[in-house]
Structure 1
Amino acid sequence: MTASTHWLATAAAQSVLERGGNAFDAAVAGGFVLHIVEPHLNGPGGDMVALISPGGVDPSVLMGQGPAPAGASIDHFRAEGLQSVPGAGALAAAVPGAVDAWLMLLEDHGTWELTDVLEYALHYAETGHALGAQAAAVIGTMGQHFSEHWHSSAAQWMPNGQIPHEGDMIKNPPYAEVLRRLIAAGFDGGTRQRRIRLAREEWKSGFVAQSAVAFARTSHRHSSGSDHRGVLDMGDFANFSASYEEPQSINFRGTTIVKAGFWSQGPVLLQALAILDHFDDEHLDPSTAPGAHTILETLKLAMADRDAYYGDSASPRALRQLLEPEYAHGRAAEIEPTASREFRPGRIPGLKPFFPILTADPGESSVLGAGEPTVKISGETRGDTCHIDVVDRHGNMVSATPSGGWLQSSPTIPPLGFALGTRLQMTWLDPDSPSALRPGTRPRTTLSPTLLMKDGFATAALGTPGGDQQDQWQLLYLLRTIVGGYNPQQAIDAPMFHTSALAGSFWPREFHPAGVVMENRVSPDVLADLRDRGHEISIVDGWSLGRLSTVIRDPASGSMGAAANPRGNQGYAGGR
């Protein structure tokens, strides 16, 4: 079974499974297709976090989040006249990590040759694919900026100077050549694994790194409205390697929920579930006012802990206290009948919470499309990230969330056909922050895939795009399936909502002390009750929040299922 945010990625991955490949082969094939068909949502210059379970056991985190370059320091950004990391431009680029992570997954757990896995992406890059409505809209929004400031992006995404329309065939010949050269790098490499390893080395030390570094260091317009040069160098590329890490997990109502560590947003979901475990079922139902209120207030507490404590420089052992039942019980007791308007991190012995400067009116970016192209606090859709889930007949399971390197994040690198990411915008130019900008340190990412386990075996992979909303929407899904008895498709289709009372992860950071965004399918009685409790609710289109997908497997019978998001008419699930 395969489910993803784009039908062509699902089709490619499912084709691999039908032809005898395993879940890891399939996920890599689908991941590279996502670079082509959702270029406004992810790219080769971005990052990726995945959870994998070989044979359905022993889950681990596949870490494809590159760190800040050696030259990216608070002092350097201050010297550039910046008060925060820009949301667009190469100065905000972390070391690209997605491609190395995908290739490492193929090398270590796949069975197919690189040339066969990349065949799908190569085809769409060379022959073209029909541009989606959202991608066309993003190019249209960025068109003037491309023409005035990012000429290489105009050349790539506006053929003959014209903004493409939905359904137009879009090609990416430079990236097709990148894929061919990666394959060629390992042509005489001996074993399958050796050939893939040589492709990884070519990516990190060869023409890709050389082209990216040379282009990033040319002065260009950033979202600050000023021109800067990037700081990536060859050493940054060469020194980065994807890796495997131990995940964090808790047990909730008989299901083990598995997430990435505290350098990511992932434990927010675990914290929220740990707090909600102290309430009865009525307060866990998102369709009721008591349930929605309790969920929203829980998320505020978990997100405040995220902003106060999470980061690559923090101690995972100390932060594990955030998941302990005693701590969760204390946090549950802080939830009152009315909406809180306070930023309320908890207290952890030995750790000092960071209090970010919060403003409800950060202003608009001077470059359209800056920041993660996700759902804005107001509910306006700017795009998302990507996601793909795969499970095979052997029980191998993958949940992967690739993002960054969007076509609107920085200028297209002409020889490569893609842009660098801007993940450093999630860091703070404040040394007291646990997610401060520090050379060699990973920015705290919002990318947050999920695995579910029962009795030691993987039973589901799921995730969604959405920046700060990723774990919020997944929480609603889990409450509806684990507690409410919904099937996966029903849970994905059900009305979604999220809180905006958090320190926005992306530039320009936003904070709305009692803000809630809800689809208009929520019951009017529920809306009225929540407003009486003090929640400030913004109503958006009934099918606009969340892009969840999932695959499921029963370890006892081997039967499988999948579900995908109908919003946007783009997500797709398939299987046999």
Structure 2
Amino acid sequence: MAAFTTRPEITGTFGVATSTHWLASSVGFGLLEKGGNAFDAAVAMGFVLQVVEPHLNGPGGEVPAIVYSAKEDKVKVLCGQGSAPQGATIAKYRDEGLDLIPGSGLLATVIPGAFDGWMLMLRDQGTMSLREVLEPAIYYARQGHPVLERVSLAIESLGELFEQEWPTSAETWMPGGKAPATGRLFRNPALADTWERLLTEAETVSGREAQIDKARDAFYRGFIAEAIGGYLKDACVMDGTGERRKGVLSADDLAGWHAHWEEPLTLDYGDWAVCKTAPWSQGPVLLQSLQLLKHAGIADMPLMGADFIHTVIEAMKLSYADREAYYGDPDFFDIPMERLLSDDYAAGRSKLITGAASLEQRPGVLPGLEHLARAAIDRAGASAGVSVGADAGEPTMAHLSNRRGDTVHVDVIDRWGNMVSATPSGGWLQSSPIIPGLGFALNSRAQMFWLDEGLPTSLAPGHRPRTTLTPSLALRDGRPHLAFGTPGGDQQDQWQLIFFLRLVHGQQNMQEVIDAPLFHSEHFTGSFYPRVANPGRMMIEPSAGAEVIAELRGRGHDVNVSEPWAIGRLTAAARDADGLLRAAATPRLMQAYAVGR
């Protein structure tokens, strides 16, 4: 790899915090300076990101995280992904005239998981009080923050919808009747009031943990749940199909839900071990891709060359095909994860990678689960409007309005070696109307369910949607070393895979790796409404070079060249064996920053 960097890799020994917005990174490091640990910092950063990147996440969204607790000497997964409400049945949604769950509106909502996820992290792993971690977010909501251009543009593009159909959103996001101007201060006083009231209620009890649990009660069984339930009883709003519908989420759904800790899935890769979430997220596709690439000679390929790019793209096509066929909530479906991650399965699948781009969807065919592979092929064929694989179906989907948001990411490492990689999302300003009096919207994660029976991703009450959110944590020589991740929906594990391979097989300077040209596949069935597949299509940054791009086209890839510096929002933090801390953040969009000393 050529040594090129847009900014220095941040180094130190005290602590590092990196995220997709400079204000959140600064807040996180500020809490480290005050004596907090990585978990305190991550929680504060998460709440600040809800304020300053409201088009990408909010309090009504969700948060998965992978953490290393130095006290426990253990890697754990935090599941802050809410499940489907009790009223969310396939029959109900079909009766609404739906074949797909809309990408916005009230039927797209599952139980909000972000708040309880952050609270569980703070209670079990943090050291600071609820007030200390919430005050920065309250400050920016009350006093204002400079509006990002993309926030301003998102609000402007939705102005007519807000004014005509979602008046509570217009009231919040369009003070004075227009979108806030880029760079000007924007305030969300209703959200600040919500958090202040929550703190007041929490502080009626004594003790750090008791106050955190009191706050959880206020959100899921108290005044916040009552406001959400009261609004949803009567609300009937425009969704992504252009029709008005009521939701099915209730206060009772919130009252019975809580975030929890899980064991990670882990795959060895040389002297590394990569930890990911279970298949209720797409996280295992990165592990599957690594297994495939072990057998594809990836370590011997120039990391900027066409061979590397082609081989990684083809491996990801195979892994994502398995995602579409087999992933889902393992609490309700026997996901064949052990088989999918096995070396012999990867060895056989790797033989499908040739010198030419595949235009087929090719999930592995597992004994007893052949119908799932067939269904995945049929869905991909339907969404692409072409035959994909043998005997695939051909009906096309209706490509309706698509107003979806994206995601944010946080990485923190403290002086004690604690690590956090978290990927909050959902509850976007685009997802649904603002709940009156609360200052935030609900999520639209239910769009990742299918309205067909018998699939791991079939809509059903209590099931978690198979989300795209996928933080990463990696060990080196048996010790926690690297926290990394990115927003980007279906692209998250693609960009993370490229980052990890280039880091392991090439440069160890993380900033140089992040700055290198990125690419991804759009070949497989998308996770977001309207669930489109684009066989053979890939996107790549022009800095990859005209010769490489021409060779990829010659191999049969449908190459879409992006604008310069337009792909990926990676951030990363590392702790070397000697205690040196390092951090980096993408220059793309000019808002992600790493802070440390």
Coarse TM-score class (shorter-chain normalised): over 0.9
Tell me by how many angstroms 1:317 deviates: 6.3
* Structure 1 counterpart of 2:87, from 40, 63, 71: 71
Question: Once the two structures are superposed, what CA deviation does each residue of 1:139-163 show, in whole Å capped at 9, x if it has no partner?
Answer: 1111111112111111111111112
User: Structure 1's 564 and 316: CA in aligned 2 closer, same or farther, altered over 3 A?
Assistant: farther
User: Deviation digits for residues 258-285 of structure 1, max 9, x if unmatched?
Assistant: 0000111000000000100112246654
Secondary structure class of the residue paired with 1:59: strand
Note if contact 1:136-1:165 (Cα within 8 Å) is conserved in structure 2.
yes
State the Cα deviation string for residues 339-359 of structure 1 (Å, max 9, x = none): 111110012233332423222
**Shift in CA distance, 208/497, structure 1 to aligned 2, threshold 3 Å:** same
Residue in structure 2 matching 1:132, options 148, 155, 162 = 148
Contact 2:326 2:336 in 1 (8 A): no
Q: Structure 2: how far apart are the matches of 1:368 and 1:263?
A: 24
Which amino acid is 2:48 matched to? V
> Is the aligned partner of 1:399 residue 2:421?
yes
Q: In 2, Cα distance between the equivalents of 1:66 and 1:390?
A: 24
Deviation per CA, 1:285-328: give whole Å up to 9, x if none.
44111111111100000000000000015656632211111001
Q: Is contact 2:360–2:535 with CA below 8 Å preserved after alignment?
A: yes
Counterpart-to-counterpart distance in 2, 1:303 and 1:235: 35
Note the 1:414-429 alignment, pairs <5 A. 414-429=436-451
Confirm or deny: 8 A CA contact 2:85 2:462 kept in the other structure. yes
The letter for the 2-side match of 1:465 is: P
Alignment match, 2:364: 346
Residue 510 of structure 1 deviates from its aligned partner by 1.2
Q: Secondary structure at the match of 1:402?
A: coil
Counterparts of 1:162-173 in structure 2, within 5 Å, are: 162-173=178-189
Letter paired with 2:32: L
Gaps spanning 5+ residues in structure 1: where? 374-383
2:61 aligned residue (22, 46, 55): 46
8 Å contact 1:44–1:418 — kept in the other structure?
yes
Q: In the alignment, which residue of structure 1 is the partner of 2:391?
A: none
Question: Would you say 1:360 and 2:363 are equivalent positions?
Answer: no
1:381 corresponding residue in structure 2: none
Residue 434 of structure 1: how far off its partner (Å): 1.2
AA of the residue aligned to 2:238: R
1:12–1:30 contact (8 Å) kept in structure 2:
yes
Q: Could you say which residue in structure 1 is the equivalent of 2:10?
A: none
Cα pair distance change 1:509/1:149, threshold 3 Å: same
Deviation at 1:550, TM superposition (A): 0.6
- Within 2, Cα distance between the matches of 1:110 and 1:483? 35
Query: Which range moved further: 69-78 or 278-287?
Result: 278-287
* Correspondent of 2:591 among 546, 570, 573: 570
Residue 335 of structure 1 is aligned with which of 353, 364, 369?
Answer: 353
User: SS at the partner of 2:424?
Assistant: strand
Shift of 1:117: 0.9
| Identity of matched residues, % | 45
Q: 2:343 aligns with which of 325, 341, 350?
A: 325
Question: Counterparts of 1:1-150 in structure 2 under 5 Å?
Answer: 1-55=16-70, 57-150=73-166
Larger mean CA deviation between 89-98 and 430-439 belongs to: 430-439
Which residue matches 1:295? 312
| Map of 1:222 onto structure 2 | 239
2: CA distance, partners of 1:487 / 1:331: 32
Rounded Cα–Cα distance in structure 2 between residues aligned with 1:198 and 1:281 = 51
Say yes or no: does 1:441 pair with 2:457: no
Choose 14-23 or 349-358, whichever is displaced more. Answer: 349-358
Distance in 1 (alpha carbons) for counterparts of 2:526 and 2:279: 17
Question: Over residues 332-378 of structure 1, what are the superposed CA-to-partner deviations in whole Å (9 max), with x where a residue is unaligned?
Answer: 01111111111100122333324232222667765452x3x2xxxxx
Match in the other structure for 1:558: 579
- 1:491 pairs with 2:507: no
- For the Cα contact (< 8 Å) 1:413–1:419, is it kept in 2? yes
Distance 1:64 1:524 in 2: 43
SS in 2 for 1:123: helix
State the match for 1:387 in structure 2.
Answer: 409
Aligned pair partner of 1:160 in 176, 196, 203: 176
Question: Quick one: structure 1 residues 232 and 337, their matched pair in 2 at CA, closer, same or farther if it must change by over 3 Å?
Answer: same
Task: Tell me which amino acid in the other structure corresponds to 1:36.
Answer: V
Query: Which amino acid is the alignment partner of residue 258 of structure 1?
Result: C
Q: CA RMSD in A?
A: 1.4
Q: 2: CA distance between counterparts of 1:565 and 1:69?
A: 37
1:528 paired to 2:545: no
Change (3 A) 1:33 1:428: same
Please give the alpha-carbon distance, in whole angstroms, between the structure 2 residues aligned to 1:446 and 1:317. 17
* 1:376 paired residue number: none
CA distance in 2, matches of 1:283, 1:490: 20
Do the aligned partners of residues 282 and 528 (structure 1) sit closer, same or farther apart at CA in structure 2, a change above 3 Å counting?
Answer: farther
8 Å CA contact 1:283, 1:290 repeated in 2: no
Distance 1:214 1:545 in 2: 41
Deviates more, 1:119-128 or 1:155-164: 155-164
Aligned pairs, number: 563
Q: Are positions 1:413 and 2:430 aligned together?
A: no
Q: In the alignment, is the contact (CA less than 8 A) between 2:471 and 2:486 conserved in 1? A: yes
311-320 vs 135-144, which moves further: 311-320
AA at the equivalent of 1:340: S
CA distance in 2, matches of 1:365, 1:414: 31
SS in 2 for 1:118: helix
**d(CA) in 2 for partners of 1:54, 1:293:** 38
Amino acid of the residue matched to residue 362 of structure 2?
R
**Take 1:349 and 1:16, find their aligned partners in 2: how far apart are those partners?**
52
Paired residue for 1:202? 218
Alignment match, 2:11: none
TM-superposed deviation, 1:486: 4.3
Aligned to 2:392: none
Could you say if the C-alpha distance between residues 116 and 365 of structure 1 is closer, same or farther in structure 2, counting changes exceeding 3 Å?
A: farther
Alignment correspondent of 2:190? 174
In the aligned structure 2, how far is the partner of 1:299 from the partner of 1:182? 44
* CA apart distance, 1:189: 1.7
Cα pair 2:104 2:240 within 8 Å, conserved: yes
Which of 407-416 and 50-59 deviates more? 50-59
- Note if contact 1:286-1:476 (Cα within 8 Å) is conserved in structure 2: no
Contact map agreement 1:89 1:222 (CA 8 A) in 2: yes
Q: Distance in 2 between matches of 1:230 and 1:286?
A: 48
**Conservation of the 8 A alpha-carbon contact between 1:3 and 1:572:** yes
TM-score (norm 1): 0.95
Cα distance between partner residues in 2 of 1:317 and 1:455: 29
**Shift of residue 118 of structure 1?**
0.6
Distance between the aligned counterparts of 2:51 and 2:296, measured in 1?
45
1:433 CA drift (Å)? 2.0
The residue correspondences of 1:466-485 to structure 2 (distance < 5 A) are 466-485=488-507
Shift of 1:177: 1.2
CA distance in 2 between counterparts of 1:120 and 1:244 reads 26
Q: 1:285 to 1:250 in 2, by over 3 A?
A: farther
- Provide Cα deviations, 1:355-406, integer angstroms capped at 9, x if missing partner: 232222667765452x3x2xxxxxxxxxx31000000000000000000000
Q: Which amino acid aligns with 2:126?
A: G
Whether 1:189 aligns to 2:205 is yes
> 1:102, CA displacement in angstroms?
0.2
In the alignment, is the contact (CA less than 8 A) between 2:44 and 2:134 conserved in 1? Answer: yes
